[in-house]
Amino acid sequence: MKYDILSLFPEYFIGPFDVSILKRARQKELIDIELVNIRDFANDKHQTVDDRPYGGGPGMVLKPGPLTEAIRSKRTKESRVIMLSPQGKVLNAAKCRELAKESHLILVCGHYEAVDERVIESEIDEEISIGDYVLTSGAPAAIVLIDAVSRFIPHVIGHEEAASQDSFEGDKTFDAPHYTRPEEFEGKRVPEVLTNGNHAEIEKWRRAKGLLKTKRVRPDLIRANEDNLGV
Ligand code: 4GS
């Protein structure tokens, strides 16, 4: 998978892709991440990328010219152009799985108050939000998207962490709580059932615990999945 990130602050992305799983995925050439500075496509002497909104209002708007040029410099027939924006569909595991099948994602990070609507109409295939809150820029959202999508690319994560076992796959209930040594920590013991080696009983306990926590924290997940859960 090739990711091109278009933003005004490429330096923002130093770090997140240089550690742990995504670093290894890049080294193994399972993913390739390139940073594009939208400002490089400004055409005036001050390299202006933003301007005041027509009709008035707070904040600045990203000019259509530089961003359009930046996108076109990277787009091929295989590209899917995504803009991170709170006005998009909210990202979920199903969407991540779908995006992981693509070969080239161009990720446009919004900055300032907004992006000129004409770019969205002409150049953006789809807007995606990472949640119902407002960020200072689309950059953290692009990091989240790359991280979550890459986990669905074969060989990025190991068998141990298999994406198909995640909370939002299968029956869409949370995992049961996890424990490791020591068996007693600050007066709290690991639940007896996990230490007695009865795997059928452990499985039953884990399902019950996972379901209980999902019901308490995310009743919406249970309702959305009633048919599969038999509840
Ligand atoms: C999001 C979000 C976001 C919106 C960017 C205001 C700066 C900001 N992007 N999911 N302008 N939520 N973007 O808040 O993706």
Q: Decide: 128 and 84 in contact? Cβ < 8 Å.
A: yes
Q: Rounded to the nearest whole angstrom, what is the distance from the C-alpha of residue 86 to the centroid of ligand 1? A: 5
The pLDDT of residue 231 is 63
Q: What is the pLDDT of residues 126-170, one digit of tens each?
A: 999 999 999 999 999 999 999 999 999 999 998 766 777 677 887
Distance 102 CA to ligand 1 centre (A): 23
What number of H helices and E strands is found in the chain?
A: 8, 10
Predicted local confidence at residue 166, as pLDDT: 78
Q: Please state the pTM of the whole predicted model.
A: 0.95
Residues with Cβ within 8 Å of 219's Cβ and at least 6 positions away in sequence, in order, are: none
**Per-residue confidence at 206, pLDDT binned at 50, 70, 90?**
very high
The 10s digit of each residue's pLDDT in 104-120 is 999 999 999 999 999 99
| pLDDT one-digit tens code per residue, 171-193 | 889 999 999 999 999 999 999 99
C-beta of 85 in contact with ligand 1 (< 6 A): yes
Catalytic site residue 102?
no
pLDDT of residue 17: 98
Residue 10 predicted with pLDDT over 70: yes
Q: Is the CB of 130 under 6 A from ligand 1?
A: yes
Instruction: Identify the CA nearest to 123 among candidates 1, 4, 30.
Output: 4
Indicate the average pLDDT of the chain.
95
Edge-to-edge strands, sheet with 79-90: 32-37, 2-7, 104-109, 79-90, 126-129
Tell me which of 113, 147, 169, 171 is the catalytic residue.
Answer: 113
Which H or E run contains 181?
A: none
Q: Pick the residue whose CA is nearest to atom 2 on ligand 1.
A: 86
Structure tokens given for 39: 């400002």
Q: Which of 75, 106, 99, 189 lies closest to 149 in space, CA to CA?
A: 99
